[in-house]
Amino acid sequence: MGTAEQMNQSFRRIQPFVEIMDCTLRDGEQTSGVSFLPHEKLMIARMLLKDVNVDRIEVASARVSEGEKDAVKMICRYAQRIGMLEKVEVLGFVDGKLSVDWISDCGGKVINLLSKGSLKHCRGQLHKTPEEHIDDIRKSLDYAARKGMTVNLYLEDWSSGMKNSPEYVYQLLDALKDSGIRRFMLPDTLGILNPLQAIEYFRKMMKRYPDMHFDFHAHNDYDLAVSNSLAAVLSGAKGLHVTVNGLGERCGNAPLSSVQVILKDQFHAKTSIHEDRLNDISRLVEGYSGIAVAPNQPIIGDNVFTQVAGVHADGDSKNNLYCNELVPERFGRKREYALGKTSGKANIARNLEELGLELTPEQTQKVTKRITELGDRKEIVTQEDLPFIVSDVLKHSAPEEKVKLVSYMVTSAYGLKPIACVKVDINGQQFETQSSGDGQYDAFVKALRKIYKQNLNRTFPILANYAVTIPPGGRTDALVQTVITWQNGERIFKTRGLDADQTEAAIKATFKMLNIIEGEV
């Protein structure tokens, strides 16, 4: 088999191109609790094709529902308009004409035909002999050809087939290798493979069928989807299937972002992916799916480019000692230095520098001590809190509030939308209005937006994220900490509010934000 280093060196010399097919809109939607609306599917498809630049997208399963059909029609119309219809694929079944006609009616031109890749599935699920199944596949292939459709063939449960019935797998491919199928797609349907098995099975396939195009479709049941995907590519796979944020059944599929960076950095493989849009597509899918990305998820997690330990910030200031190839700017992000009990003077100095605040070493030490005390109480400190902490610790006058809340009232009644009446003072001028919303805070923010738009002719920052935490113990009188992430043009920043009432905490965080941007006008 050769050593791993020999394989790696050989792979680097070849520098292959690896096709990336994203199946977020098909396999990813099989995540428990996830169901995309047709327009959401279109938005995701547009970003994957135009911005992220994946080679192909699998957007649905045939014959699922009328809503699914509407989504596929919308995506196909869009893809045809931009000359990318051949990149849109739909899963179809060996059901005679039904799946082919369904996809054709949607405007699709590529069917990913689902066949059985193990003898157990062929006999146990279809109750057919291999010969009967092959005959049914040929009928679907013939009809698809008459309809002018490109066919890729899934061998469902292929990994089990190679483990338990390889002669069946070979029988299937021997019968279909000259039938016009463009790609043979080999799934680890139950997520049972390890990288050594993936290498072994792919090498057997490549030795027997050297001229075929094989894709690999990994599942993450043993947390090996990315490793198995890389093993497949090392052994000859020409394409990989991924999902945004690793969505998928059970433990999910191989994440697009992780697969991309390992292919590029570890093996110098070539792909079409635009890495600077990986974070954007992750956020879009996170919002539509309702499945939050773990903060420590590589490449796309909130914390992965945040240094917490002071020694790391110190090392970064000394010739980037704690940096690797995964620099945040590569992905449209930037490195941050968290403020907490382990921050140390180097982290705080970095944040002060970004804010343009200059302190003596003694003053920095006092501020560091205060932030450490807050961290011990599990309070989150954001960069935007620093000027207030500095003023408090050094007994300076607090930064002037240019935006002040004069008064407000929010009402909530069963069966009616909440209403907020708000009076604010902005640079000495008072404004008053009211608005309704989907919640008390939503109504409050909509009233503020109205003031900024109608009275000041200014845009109001976008609320990008909203996180609420309470101290452990579950006491009803516990303080609520609300951290809101804002986007103002290209700038993204966070503000914090602390109060016994959740709405009041959010309002405090909002007015911190307004004073920050007012100071920049």
Percent helix, strand and coil across the chain, each rounded to 5?
45, 20, 35
Q: Is 490 considered catalytic here?
A: no
CA dihedral of 437, 441, 442, 444, whole degrees rounded to 10: 80
Q: Bridge-partner residues for 424, per DSSP?
A: 405, 431
CA distance 456 to 404: 15
Residue with tokens 């050593």: 3
393 CB-side CA count, 13 A:
20
CA distance 56 to 188: 20
Closest alpha carbon to 484 in 456, 461, 452, 453: 461
What is the rounded end-to-end Cα distance, in angstroms, of the chain? 65
HEC string for 470-486: CCCCCCCCCCEEEEEEE
Tokens linked to 458: 């200014």
CA distance 194 to 318: 40
Q: How many residues does the chain have?
A: 521
CA distance 159 to 43: 33
Residue with tokens 């499945």: 291
Q: Using the CB atoms, write b or e for 189-200: b if 16+ within 10 Å.
A: bebbbebebbbb
Closest alpha carbon to 267 in 332, 325, 210, 345: 325
Judge contact between 183 and 239, C-beta under 8 A.
Answer: yes
Neighbours of 71 (CB within 10 A): 25
Q: Is 335 considered catalytic here?
A: no
Under the phi-then-psi rule, with left for phi > 0, alpha for psi from -120 to 50, and beta for the rest, what region is 447? alpha
DSSP 8-state code for residue 469: E
Give CA separation, 187 vs 158, 216, 240, 390, 442, in Å.
6, 6, 10, 57, 45
SS3 17: strand
Catalytic residue among 29, 58, 89, 156: 156
Catalytic residue among 26, 56, 333, 350: 26
CA distance 319 to 457: 45
441 CB-side CA count, 13 A:
16
496 CB-side CA count, 13 A:
17
Judge contact between 418 and 411, C-beta under 8 A.
Answer: yes
CA distance 169 to 133: 12
Active-site amino acid positions: 26, 156
